[in-house]
Amino acid sequence: MWGALCGWITQFSLGSSDGFTELESSIASTLEEIRKVNIIDVYSLEDHVENFFKSYAEYDTLGSSKMTKESHEKALADSQHHLDDAKMAHEKLDGSMEKLQATLADVEKDLKALTYKKKKVTALINKYQEKLSKSQENVIITEGEIYTIEANNVMSNDEVERLAKLEGALRKVAKNHKLQTFSVVKIFYLFA
């Protein structure tokens, strides 16, 4: 494919419109073959080739007819207009790129802030879990002591009531720590 295309290009002469037509069809068929194989994207190349052939056709038309000063100025003005349009499109893309970069910087700042908050919440959860573990250990130890005392000593009704109040208070403390830990875990998942 490429060999045939290169052969046509070397035989191509600006003076031959038949050679130009054959070159155009040869390039079109070569690009079609490349598109079928689907190895590379040839759409941007096709645009450039198409623009080349349009420019050549305009050149050929202008070359075959006598170019007046007015037609020359019109062609020059059209070319300048296309160039200005391309510059404006490029400037718009530059502006869009700058906005995207600023947005990316803001998102990265937000991500850093959220990461910092997540670390703080994780540390707070770990702290509360340690406190809960210590409280649970204290409750277990105290309950064990209470049951040992109950087993070894016969208590009066007054002592039984005080002991029941103490057990209730211990259970309330343990329950309160569990609720606090649950709230902290909920907060953590809101920031995660």
pLDDT tier for residue 6 given thresholds of 50, 70 and 90:
low
Backbone angles phi, psi at 153, to 5 degrees: -125, 140
Structural contact between residues 65 and 54, judged by C-beta atoms closer than 8 angstroms: no
| pLDDT exceeds cutoff 60 at 72 | yes
Q: Is 90 exceeded by the pLDDT of residue 120?
A: yes
Q: Which tokens hold the place of 39?
A: 């190895």
Percentage of the chain lying above the pLDDT 70 cut? 59
pLDDT band at 100, cuts 50/70/90? confident
**Over the stretch 40-67, which tens digit does the pLDDT of each residue have?**
666 666 776 676 767 666 666 666 555 6
The H or E element spanning position 124 is helix 69-152
Could you tell me how many residues make up the chain? 192
Q: Please state the domain extents for the chain.
A: 1-65, 107-191
Mean pLDDT, rounded, for 134-147: 82
Digit-coded pLDDT (tens) for 142-154: 878 877 776 776 6
Instruction: Name the band, by pLDDT with cuts 50, 70 and 90, for residue 102.
Output: confident
CA 128 – CA 119 distance, rounded (Å): 14
Rounded Cα distance, 2 and 8, in Å: 10
Residue 131: pLDDT over 70:
yes
